[in-house]
Amino acid sequence: MPEETEQTTQLTSDQLKLSSNIANYSFEDQKENIIPVKQGRSGVTLSQLFSVAPSKRHEQLQEGHNQFSQELQNLGELDDPLDVYSRYIEWTIQNYPEGHNNESNLIQLLEAATRLFQDDVRYKNDARYLKYWIQYSKYVEQPREIFAFLENKNIGSNYAVYYEEYGTLLERAQKYKEADEIYKLGIRRNAQPLERLNRRYNDFQIRMMTTTSIPNENPQTASKELINPQRKILGIKSSASSTKSAPLNVALARNSSSSREAANTLKIEHATPIDDNLPSTGKISVFYDPDGRIGAAALAASENKWKDYGTEASRKKENIHDPLKWKGEKLSQKSNCSVIPAAKLEIYHDEPQLASLNETERPIEDFGRLPENKSDTSKEHKLTRETNSSHTLGKQSASSSSQTRKAKSNNIQLPENFFINLDQFYVGDEEFCFEEIRAKYLGWGDKSVEEEEHSIDANVSEYCTDVEKNPTSNIGQRTPIKDAKFDESEKTNRPSPTINTKEALADIYEIFSQPLIRDSDDENGDYSSSSRAKRENKPTIFYDENSLLQTPSSSYNTSGIFAGQKRKGSHDENFDLFENSFNSQASAKRQALGILFPLDCVHKETDIENSQSLNNELENNSCGESNSIILRNQYSNHRGDIRTVPFEILTPIDERNSEYESGKASLSSATSFKATESNESTGELDDTFGHKTQKKVIPLSSKSNQPILHFQAFNSLPGNLCNPMDPEIRDKFFSELNPPLSSYEGFYDHKLTEFSGSEKVNNCAMNWINNSRKRHNVSIDSDYTLNLLDDTFEIRQKLGEGGFAKVYCIVDKKRLNKIIGNEIHRSSNCNDKSIFRALKLQKPPDAWEFYILRQVHQRVSASTINSFISVSALYLFKDESYLIMEYLEHGTILDVVNAATKENTSMDELLVGFFTVELLKAIEAMHAAGIIHGDLKADNLLVRLEPTEEWDSQYSPTGSNGWSKKGVKIIDFGRAIDLTLFSEETKFICDWETSEQDCYEMRVGKPWKWHADYYGLAGIIYCMLHHKFMQTTCVDESITRKRYMPLLPFKRYWQDLWRRMFDMLLNPSYVRSDSQLPITNELRDIRRELEGYLVMNCERNGKSLKLMLRKLENKEYS
């Protein structure tokens, strides 16, 4: 509606004056939203626009749009359709001061206007039309394309505006040369108004003068102008590589696939007027088109090709998303850049202390590819190994291999060293894995199980000792044996010739008592420890290396046996010493050299004596190659015990008193392998070395008139020292006893008659075992009866054997008959334990144990009385004595330990604790009663598990609730001492050969008293805990103080009180500040502590003390 628009314009012009001030006000705050227009904006329109409310303004504008769109519908009927558009555009520009937006749709409007008439000849040279194109170009990303398009369509080419705008555009894009060409083109084409164009061109040239004078302005362009000044507008670029000089080409190339043809068209089109100026190069002649035919054809082609410039929407179409539902859409995230594992990463070295649980991950170091040529590396490896044959081969090869590795990759900074010794695992061409080495070491390497099974019977275990005697051990210091006082701490200070003394013996024993493992530690670790070698069935050799200077004459050896060497599993070449290996099967040798000692006799004193005779031999053999002589002796021991090998079952410790040796020799009946063996050994001993007995300081037998005891033990009861085992002392005791022994109940004294029943008893026991194997049913046969005076007993199996006594199980016929008389079924009687007794057959006879046991039972309080074996009778004959004691079916602690070892379990700490408490109680009571047992060991301790009706699972230290029925029973009081018979100061020394199971003082010949029991107690506990006989080590706290410790460490989870207890028991003299013994009170305290632990833990963590005891109860130990 033109009228209406006129009205509005009139209105606005009317209002202009009226409201200029107001108008200023009304759009003052909106100035930022108004796009400046070249020709300016009407203030009235603006004030009108911004004075109305936005919603109302929107309505108004919408109305305007509607009007124009109505007009546009009738476009086809108008003479000047562009006019409608021109008004619409003007209106839009005026009414939308913010420029193009979705409401104004200015761009769409311009597009519509320009596209509609692009092929309309009427408007080819219409200023308005051109103006809209130029306006449109402002909204286009690549305005140059618009101009190229217009050029192509030949729109507005007569107007200076085109060239001016184009030139300005290029100038703004710093394409000065092209701008210059455009200006020139316009001038040449006589574009109107030419004057303005000229002026603009002049201005441009002036600007160009200033810009080109700035050197850094666009050096490329500038230099091109210098180099190529002849180049003309739209001419051919001189350099094919330069795209900048061919703006149209570039512009078109971006636009369509036909750009080349279009470009050609352009060039051809414009070539005609300018060809004169062109340099006559080959390139240009190609495009030369004098006829214009090609140009026309090309033009036609170009018109086909670039018909339409396309709308903004079409250009943007790639950027426009089709509307999608948002639900479930994922917003694309910026993708993480992936970590590409680099070929070479920083090397990470394991630092030992850096390890922590929550450590952040680290890249695996050196993920390098494996070496391609593997055979090479192996060769290399072999080579390096072959070249090194020395001892340090492993290390060298390791380092050389690390060097080769280094050569391959620079990753390694540090030299590598193998933790293991490669030599051990690469022998010759063969590899050995750890397990093989271990198996070999343990002796499994070349032995089949079958062999082993067979070999058990003839098992020969060897024991060896290394005996070294420091020549400097003193003699001057040596106190006479009579005093038997030794100060071992001083003996290293002064020289002493070699003399067989107890002190010297003590030194040797001390060496013996050193555990082998420690030896190896001391010896610079040069050879592998021999501690395990005991397991081997084959002869083993123990090496020793000693740097001590020793004179041969001072060397002690317990039994010098020189035999051929057999080295096994050794890695060492550098032993220049004597090695003796003795195979017991080489009986000839053995006989020649004379001695075969059972395990228990290893430390026989006599050995020491005998060995001296070998010293000369030794001297001869030593060849004087060095000052050191090391004797290696092996004791071989026939073991009849089948159980020994696989489990290292502990066998009871034989005690052997030298005074009975001769008597034993006559005890020839071989009831067991062991018996024969011990006979053999003792017999041999006498045979071979009988002639040397005179050398002995302490004679073997007290029967010899040499006084063993140089203390006055006989008349007045003792001086300070005493051999408690001395029969003469005992005889004296008996004679002075008040009341006399004969008054004791159950004592049958027939000292004058010989009985000689031992063989019969032995045979009976053998038969019993044989028969009971055959016949399942136990029947009582008269064959087995033993008549001791008026009493009849029936011999059953042998229970055990001591050094000079045997223990049998017997049936008390009297009692049996009584029960039968009560008409109880016979078969059930056999299971009644009350009919069984234990018979201790001792040869030679001994009444001592009977006496002691009676004394114990008299003196000890009722609460612990059950912890001591009770004796019912003693039949004493001239040659034998028969001690009848109560019988306990559950065996000894040693049996329990061995049974546990067999089952590969260990005695639970609770159980050990229980027995320890019981044992401690008993010993406390015994010591309080003035009795020392003197021979406490695991095989002298029976397990007492009496049946009980009520038995609470909660442990009770007081013995209530049935706990008193369980415990231990101490047996074998053969060595016991009744302290009341001696004066208080009396201490004892022993004359029997000691073993490691005897206390330290006994072994070194020092006087002892309670030590023996303490040590024995420790030995029992150790045995229960570790399933091994106790070995101790010695720590020097100071020169005069030595502290003994058990060899094996306590397990981590065991209670600490074990350690304290052992410390007390092994070092009893350190317990009290005044070093006085006994330490009964201290032991009681630690026992109470242990009791407390038992009370707390007797039913904990699924363990129950009661159940464990019940398990023992239900087991059969025979």
In the window 1091-1110, what residues touch another protein (CB under 8 A)?
1101-1103
Q: Figure out which of the listed residues 357, 623, 752, 1039 binds another protein, where binding follows CB under 8 A.
A: 357
Query: By CB under 8 A, which span of 85-93, 359-367, 622-630, 1003-1011 interacts with another protein?
Result: 359-367
Query: By CB under 8 A, which span of 423-431, 595-603, 695-703, 991-999 interacts with another protein?
Result: 423-431
Q: Figure out which of the listed residues 332, 356, 858, 1075 binds another protein, where binding follows CB under 8 A.
A: 356
Nearer to another protein, 232 or 532 (CB): 532
Question: Total residues contacting another protein (rule CB under 8 A)?
Answer: 84
Residues with Cβ within 8 Å of 487's Cβ and at least 6 positions away in sequence, in order, are 477, 479
Picking from 1100, 1117, 648, the residue whose alpha carbon sits closest to that of residue 913 is: 1100
3-state secondary structure of 848: helix
| Minimal distance, residue 533 CB to another protein, in Å | 10
Q: Please report whether residue 335 would count as binding another protein according to CB under 8 A.
A: yes
Nearer to another protein, 448 or 958 (CB): 448
Q: What is the full DSSP assignment across 121-165?
A: GGGTT-HHHHHHHHHHHHTSS-HHHHHHHHHHHT-STTBHHHHHH
Q: Figure out which of the listed residues 790, 1052, 1074, 1075 binds another protein, where binding follows CB under 8 A.
A: 1052
Could you say which residues in the range 24-63 bind another protein, by CB under 8 A?
A: 30, 33, 54, 57-58
| Minimal distance, residue 88 CB to another protein, in Å | 21
Q: Please report whether residue 370 would count as binding another protein according to CB under 8 A.
A: yes
| Minimal distance, residue 230 CB to another protein, in Å | 55
Q: Please report whether residue 379 would count as binding another protein according to CB under 8 A.
A: no
Nearer to another protein, 369 or 775 (CB): 369
| Minimal distance, residue 376 CB to another protein, in Å | 11
Query: By CB under 8 A, which span of 174-182, 609-617, 706-714, 903-911 interacts with another protein?
Result: 903-911
CA distance linking residue 714 with residue 638, whole number of Å: 41
Q: What is the full DSSP assignment across 26-92?
A: HTGGGGGG----TT---HHHHHHHHHS-HHHHHHHHHHHHHHHHHHHHTGGG-S-HHHHHHHHHHHH
What is the C-alpha end-to-end distance of the chain, expressed in Å? 133
Query: By CB under 8 A, which span of 163-171, 459-467, 723-731, 902-910 interacts with another protein?
Result: 902-910
Query: By CB under 8 A, which span of 331-339, 756-764, 888-896, 992-1000 interacts with another protein?
Result: 331-339
CA distance linking residue 486 with residue 483, whole number of Å: 8
Nearer to another protein, 102 or 319 (CB): 102
CA distance linking residue 367 with residue 914, whole number of Å: 59
Nearer to another protein, 904 or 958 (CB): 904
| Minimal distance, residue 32 CB to another protein, in Å | 9
| Minimal distance, residue 919 CB to another protein, in Å | 24
Q: Please report whether residue 401 would count as binding another protein according to CB under 8 A.
A: yes
Picking from 124, 129, 201, 208, the residue whose alpha carbon sits closest to that of residue 163 is: 201
Q: Figure out which of the listed residues 343, 433, 862, 1039 binds another protein, where binding follows CB under 8 A.
A: 433
Could you say which residues in the range 638-697 bind another protein, by CB under 8 A?
A: 646
Question: For another protein, what does the binding mask look like between residues 905 and 944, x meaning CB under 8 A?
Answer: xx--------------------------------------
Nearer to another protein, 51 or 154 (CB): 51
Nearer to another protein, 437 or 766 (CB): 437
Nearer to another protein, 375 or 958 (CB): 375
Cis peptide before 844 (omega within 30 of 0): yes
Query: By CB under 8 A, which span of 130-138, 319-327, 523-531, 1055-1063 interacts with another protein?
Result: 523-531
DSSP state of 650: P
| Minimal distance, residue 669 CB to another protein, in Å | 35
| Minimal distance, residue 1107 CB to another protein, in Å | 10
| Minimal distance, residue 110 CB to another protein, in Å | 22
Residues in a beta bridge with 874: 747, 883
Could you say which residues in the range 58-87 bind another protein, by CB under 8 A?
A: 58
Phi/psi-derived region of residue 874, left when phi > 0, alpha when psi is between -120 and 50, beta in every other case: beta
Query: By CB under 8 A, which span of 76-84, 441-449, 749-757, 967-975 interacts with another protein?
Result: 441-449
Which run of H or of E encompasses 620?
helix 615-622
Nearer to another protein, 318 or 350 (CB): 350
CA distance linking residue 788 with residue 756, whole number of Å: 11
Q: Please report whether residue 376 would count as binding another protein according to CB under 8 A.
A: no
Tokens found for residue 812 = 């008390």
Query: By CB under 8 A, which span of 233-241, 337-345, 572-580, 866-874 interacts with another protein?
Result: 337-345
Q: Figure out which of the listed residues 3, 329, 351, 949 binds another protein, where binding follows CB under 8 A.
A: 351
Nearer to another protein, 735 or 1053 (CB): 1053
CA distance linking residue 897 with residue 913, whole number of Å: 14
Tokens found for residue 791 = 């009493």
Q: Hey, what amino acid is at 739?
A: P
Nearer to another protein, 25 or 367 (CB): 367
Q: Please report whether residue 216 would count as binding another protein according to CB under 8 A.
A: no
Q: Figure out which of the listed residues 421, 772, 797, 1069 binds another protein, where binding follows CB under 8 A.
A: 421
CA distance linking residue 693 with residue 781, whole number of Å: 48
Tokens found for residue 48 = 């009108």
Nearer to another protein, 322 or 430 (CB): 430
Q: Please report whether residue 108 would count as binding another protein according to CB under 8 A.
A: no
Nearer to another protein, 441 or 1029 (CB): 441
Cβ of 976: how many Cβ atoms within 10 Å?
23
| Minimal distance, residue 530 CB to another protein, in Å | 9
Tokens found for residue 905 = 């379990």
Tokens found for residue 336 = 């993480």
| Minimal distance, residue 49 CB to another protein, in Å | 10
Q: Please report whether residue 374 would count as binding another protein according to CB under 8 A.
A: yes
Buried b (16+ CB within 10 A) or exposed e, 13-45: eebeeebeeebeebbeeeeeebeeeeeebbbbb
3-state secondary structure of 1117: coil
| Minimal distance, residue 435 CB to another protein, in Å | 6
CA distance linking residue 1015 with residue 1064, whole number of Å: 10
Could you say which residues in the range 610-649 bind another protein, by CB under 8 A?
A: 646
What values do phi and psi take at 24, rounded to 5? -50, -40
Could you say which residues in the range 525-544 bind another protein, by CB under 8 A?
A: 528-529, 531-532
Cβ of 973: how many Cβ atoms within 10 Å?
26
Cβ of 67: how many Cβ atoms within 10 Å?
17
Q: Please report whether residue 363 would count as binding another protein according to CB under 8 A.
A: yes
Pairing assessment for the beta strands 881-886 and 871-877 based on DSSP bridges: antiparallel
Picking from 636, 622, 553, 531, the residue whose alpha carbon sits closest to that of residue 594 is: 636
For 703-825, where are the alpha helices, taking DSSP H only?
727-736, 758-774, 813-821
Question: How far, rounded to the nearest angstrom, does the alpha carbon of residue 1083 sit from its chain's CA centroid?
Answer: 40
Q: Please report whether residue 372 would count as binding another protein according to CB under 8 A.
A: no
Query: By CB under 8 A, which span of 184-192, 374-382, 686-694, 982-990 interacts with another protein?
Result: 374-382
Q: Please report whether residue 434 would count as binding another protein according to CB under 8 A.
A: yes
- Per DSSP (E only), the strands in 424-497 are 426-427, 430-431, 460-467
Could you say which residues in the range 747-806 bind another protein, by CB under 8 A?
A: none
